[in-house]
Amino acid sequence: MNTTPSVLPQVNGVVLAHADEALTTESIRQRACAELLRQAALQAGLLAADDPLPLGGAMTEAASTAIEALLDRELHVPEPSEEALRRHHAAQRGRYAVGERVLLRHVLFAVTPGVDVNALRQRAEACLLDVRCASPHGDDRFSAAALVTSNCPSGAEGGALGWLTTDDCAPELAREIFGKLEVGVLPHLVHSRFGLHVVEVLAREPGLDPAFEAVRSAVAQGLRQQAYATALRQYLRLLAGAATLAGVDLEAAESPLVQ
């Protein structure tokens, strides 16, 4: 189910969404995670007991500050070792290339409020299968699919996005495209904040590969972020395990919070 369920979603009796709100399943999960953290901040004495309940998912400034203090206290993120930094850099050298460009086109299946995400994913998977089955020297199914199906203005141009750098893309999209070798239709859907993408890389221009010392701080920051995300997921699982949940499935979430 991908919109607000018949049982109003709740965390320890606090209602997350009302029946007239058209929320996706992921939006409900985000609210549930945020409410778990707000309640943990209350229990820790970091937030006043009379802090107003979130309206429409919007917390008070005091609640946001209390949650930051809670996470600073509860999450223990180790500093990556020099060995871990060098190992990660060696395995992900392409990610730190400077000036890499890709010639890209896509078909976007946008996730909007109230959309049936399962049905949308099925349509996106069917499109991916169809364009991957196309003969490389036959009709251009990709352009036709983009023209008819894509929720992006680029659909009018057959999905063409032109030459892009990492700065031109949403981070979650860039992670799936840059620092790779593949040219052609990617074998899986790419998920971003905009929805589901069928992506074809038409050409690549590799960037310069800086030495480890030049990108050490960027490598360290990336590993810290990974460690923080892991610690946050584990902490939220602990909170969820001790809570009474209704109408929300946190186990199915790919990530507890969206940036």
> Across residues 75-93, what is the average pLDDT?
91
Residue with tokens 């499109």: 127
Q: Spelled out in words, what is the top-level CATH class assigned to the domain 99-205?
A: alpha beta
Lowest mean pLDDT among 20-24, 152-156, 183-187: 20-24
Dihedral angle over CA of 94, 98, 99, 103, nearest 10: 20
> Across residues 179-208, what is the average pLDDT?
90
The span from the CA of 55 to the CA of 51, in Å, is 12
pLDDT tier at 237, thresholds 50, 70, 90: very high
Q: Where are the alpha helices (DSSP H) in the chain?
A: 25-43, 61-74, 82-91, 117-133, 141-149, 171-177, 212-241
Q: What is the mean pLDDT of the chain?
A: 86
Pairing state between β 184-185 and 195-205:
antiparallel
pLDDT at 5: 47
pLDDT at 257: 44
pLDDT for 249 beyond 90: no
Lowest mean pLDDT among 20-29, 44-53, 155-164, 219-228: 20-29
Q: Which residue has the higher pLDDT, 257 or 18?
A: 18
Dihedral angle over CA of 10, 109, 236, 55, nearest 10: -40
Binning the chain into helix, strand and coil, the percentages to the nearest 5 are 45, 15, 40
pLDDT at 92: 82
**Contact at 8 Å (CB) between 236 and 36?**
yes
Neighbours of 33 (CB within 10 A): 23
Q: Using the Cα atoms of residue 163, residue 165, residue 171 and residue 175 in order, give the sign of their dihedral.
A: positive
pLDDT for 35 beyond 90: yes
The span from the CA of 212 to the CA of 92, in Å, is 11
**3-state class (DSSP) for residue 94:** helix
pLDDT for 6 beyond 90: no
pLDDT for 136 beyond 70: no
Cβ-proximal residues to 163 (8 Å cutoff; 6+ apart), any chain: 101, 102, 103, 104, 205
pLDDT tier at 251, thresholds 50, 70, 90: low
Q: Using the Cα atoms of residue 92, residue 219, residue 174 and residue 57 in order, give the sign of their dihedral.
A: positive
Enumerate the domain spans of the chain: 10-79+218-246, 99-205
- % of the chain residues with pLDDT over 90: 50
> Across residues 239-250, what is the average pLDDT?
88
